[in-house]
Structure formats: C-alpha cells, structure tokens
Amino acid sequence: MSLLWALLLVPVACGIVAAVLPRPRAVLATCAAGALAEAALTALAVPAALEAPVFAGGAQLMMDALSAYNLAIVVLVFAFASVYAIRYFGPAVRDGTFSRSMARRFGAAWFGFLASMVLVLLSNNVGLLWVAMETTTLASGLLVCLEFDRPSVKAAWTYLMICSVGIALALLGTFLLCGEARGVTTGSQSPFLWTDLSAVASRMQPGAVKLAFVFLLVGYGTKAGLAPMHTWLPDAHGQAPTPVSAVLSGVLLNCALYSISRFLPVVEKATGGHGWAFSLLVPFGLVSIVVAAAFIAYEHDLKRLLAYCSVEHIGIIALGLGLGAVPAALFHTLNHSLAKMTAFFSVGNLYRQLGTRDSRRIDGLLRASPLSGAALLVAVLALVGAPSSSVFMSELWIARDGVAGGHVAPVVAFLLGVAIIFVVLLRPVLGMAWRPVPEGVPRHRAHALDWPGLLLPLLLIVLLGVWMPPPLAQALARASAVLGGAG
C-alpha cells in the first residue's frame, strides 16, 4: 500500500477509534498518538516527494514538493497541538465538564479535520480538493462549537455560513476551469486532474480561465481569511478551544492559500505567463495587512488579537506570492505557523490560570506566570517581526525579492503596515508583561509537560532566524519550482 493512502487512512482510523473510546483521557491520548504517528509517516514520505512527485490511486492522489512542504507544516502543528490538548483539557476532564460525548466529538472532528487537510494537500483532483476543503470547514466548525455555549455556537454559525458560501464560489471556479479544460483535453486526460490541467493549460482560452480564477481566488480566499472576506475569522479563532485555534490559525489558513496557489501555475500558463494571476494576489495581501492593523489597534481579547494577526500574516504570504517571492512566502508560512501556534498555546495557559483574555486586565505577566508569559512575549515579538526571529528573515526576504522584482510601491506599503502592527500589537503585550503584579496573585509554576510545547517551536524560530538549514533551503526551492516562481 502506498504511503499516501496510509497518510489518509491513519487519521480516519484514529477518528473512528476516538469516536467510540469510553474515557475522555483515552480519547486525548489517541489524539496525541495518532498525530505523532501521522508525523512519523510524513517524515517517511516527504523526502521522496521532494525529489519527484509521488502518485497513488490512479493519479487521483499526488504528493509533489509543494504539498510535501505544506504537509510537513500541517503534521508538525497538529502533533504539537494534540499533545497540548492533553494539558489544555486536563482540568476539564478532572471536573467532568469535558464529558464523554464531548471528548468523542472532539476526537472524531479532530481527526476528520486532519484527514481532510491531508486530502487537500494530497489530492491531484481539483474537484476532490474542493470536497476536502469543504470538509475541513465542517470538521473545524464542529470543533469551534465544541463547548456549545452561545458565543461559540454563534461563532461556528458565522464560520460555517461564510465559509460554505465562499467556498461554493470556489466550486463554481473549479467547474468553470475544468469546463474550459474539457474542450482541450485529449485521450485519457481528465479535466479534473491537476497534472493534466497544467499539461493542457497553454491551450485554454485566457478569458475563461481568468474568470474561473477570480472565483477560485474569492472562494478559497474566504477560507484563507484574506480581507475583506476575513469577517468570520476573529470570531471562530477567538471562540474555539485553544488547541483548535492554534490549528485553525497555524495550518488551515495555509491549506486554503495552498489551494489558491495550486491554480497559479495553471492560470499563468493559460494567460501567457505575464504574472496576471500572481498580481491579483497583491491587492488582497495589502488590504489584509492594512485591515488587520486597523483592527489590532482596537482589540483587547488576546485570542482575537492573534486572529487578526493571522489575517495580517496570510496577507503577507499572499503578498509574497504575488510579488514573486515564492520561496520567501513559503518560508514565511512555516514561521507564522510555528509562532502563532506557540502564541495561542501560551494564551490558552494564561486563560486557564487567570480566567481572562482581556489584555487590559492582565498584569505582571512575567512574574505571575514566567513560562507562559515569557513564551507569549517571545512569540509575539517573533510575530511582529522582531529581528533575529525567522519571521523577520522571511519578511525581509519578501521585501528584498519584491524590490528586486521592481514592485517598490507594494513593498513600501507592506513595510509600513508591518511597522504599524509592530507598534499596535506589541503595545498591549508589553503592558501586560511589565506592569506590576497585583497583590495576592500567586506565582504559577509550570507543569513539566508545558515546557516542550512552548520552548521547542520558539527555539526553532530563533534558530531559523540565524541559520537556514540546507535541506530546508532545498525544500523551499523545490516547492517554489512547482509554482513556477524564481528562486
């Protein structure tokens, strides 16, 4: 059996197991074990895929460098989040609020989410890609309203509604593109397979392909949280349980952006390679950065702050793709996922400990909770692009490639936006960190299990900020070659 099938079947099997296990603790353990197994499988599968595309299931499944790279990020974040979930739900398990039915719901949806994201990345069939993308919405929608209280149900409703409607437009785009391809495919070629699509792309009519891409961009862009289609994002990310927020923010958005980028080379070939499709991403990226900056300045809920920050970073990645800085944008994807995940983890810890996520009501963070507080501070420093973090490096890289490509004005706007966010995002966090500790707040001692989840990603971020490992550099180059981007 091919590794690709294994990658799909492991989460499905784990999901089924998790849905019937009797005890919440066992479900959480299954989550962690399943995610780690998936990570191990990925580690086995990725090296081969980076060399040459791997196919399975009659070419319906394919893993090339781009999907391998994204898959690695997905399973990395999932593994961390699954382990973190054990700690996060621990108190709720003990006092019984994390009941059996809730645990089963969580386990099934968690693995359904993982399986659908893996399918998004492995699908060579663009129709199947859409199906998987919609499935991620459903599974994660169930995760957002896991606690079924009023705010989370409302958030899940908004999320489901906006994303389902948005993604229906992407389905229309898919149909239009495949309908156009149907006229030019020959013999055994299928208009739905991405490999065949890119093979015949140069024979398609540019007008029809452009129309299809606009629908695809708006549709999947909604899911990616690109402004102005981002309105569901703060609610969903803010109301979801923290491990879910980390996964939503850390990898789901990437997957949606991946779906858009899959179509970039096809559209480019069909429209004559003038960079039309890439240039369409630039305004969306810039608007996302600006909108995020505006909202961050007036937001006090820490999780919603981080959610808007995700809008910003997705904007940066889209901008990077649009400016032709493809390897830099892919690198930024990894950095953002690591930093955002850590930031969510530490906010989750703080919330559990202090009972609030309001940045105005938290004081003396570094003293009251040294580990989580420091991790949050460092993660936010990385997110705003402080030097010597890898986020700084990738942003610099995007700016450099952008200027080298002659796009000075967008780069200036991008740097301005990032500078504003540097101030408005850091301000509340610094305040929380350095304000004096109020009387009577006990110093929180971190559990031993808290350490690796917070420290490892941060170490990785700092390490990547100063040294680019050659295998990673090679993976980035191979992945961007799929998109046709220059190095």
Partner 1 sequence: MSLDADLLLLLVIGIDLFIGSTGRLVARIRACALQGLVLAALPLAIQGTGVLTGGQRIAHTGMAVLATLLLKAVAIPALLVYAMRKSGVHRETQPETSLHLSLLMCGILVGLSFWIGAVMLPSAGAGSSPLGVPAGLATLLVGLYLTVTGRTEITQVIGYLVLENGVFVIGQRVLGEFPLVVELGVLLDVLVAVMLMAVLVVFANRHPEDEAQDAPAAAIGGRR
**Under the rule (CB under 8 A), what is the footprint of partner 1?**
60, 99, 101, 105, 125, 127-128, 130-131, 134-135, 137-138, 141-142, 145, 148, 150, 153-154, 156-157, 160-161, 164-165, 168-169, 171-172, 175-176, 178-180, 182, 190-192, 208, 211
**Which of 148, 259, 164, 247 lies closest to 213 in space, CA to CA?**
259
Which backbone phi and psi does 311 adopt, to 5 degrees?
Answer: -55, -45
CB of 165 to partner 1, least distance (A): 6
CB of 179 to partner 1, least distance (A): 3
- Count of CA atoms in the C-beta half-sphere (13 A) of 184: 18
8 A C-beta contact, residue 372 and residue 446: yes
CB of 205 to partner 1, least distance (A): 10
Helix axes 206-224, 126-144, angle to 10 degrees: 20
CB of 111 to partner 1, least distance (A): 15
Beta carbon nearer to partner 1, 211 or 460? 211
Beta carbon nearer to partner 1, 180 or 395? 180
CB of 261 to partner 1, least distance (A): 21
Beta carbon nearer to partner 1, 186 or 470? 186
Beta carbon nearer to partner 1, 40 or 165? 165
Beta carbon nearer to partner 1, 26 or 131? 131
Beta carbon nearer to partner 1, 59 or 455? 59
CB of 131 to partner 1, least distance (A): 3
CA distance 63 to 308: 31
CB of 219 to partner 1, least distance (A): 10
Beta carbon nearer to partner 1, 148 or 434? 148
Beta carbon nearer to partner 1, 164 or 359? 164
Beta carbon nearer to partner 1, 152 or 333? 152
CB of 443 to partner 1, least distance (A): 36
**Which of 164, 189, 80, 188 lies closest to 451 in space, CA to CA?**
80
CB of 222 to partner 1, least distance (A): 13
For the chain, what's the residue count? Answer: 487
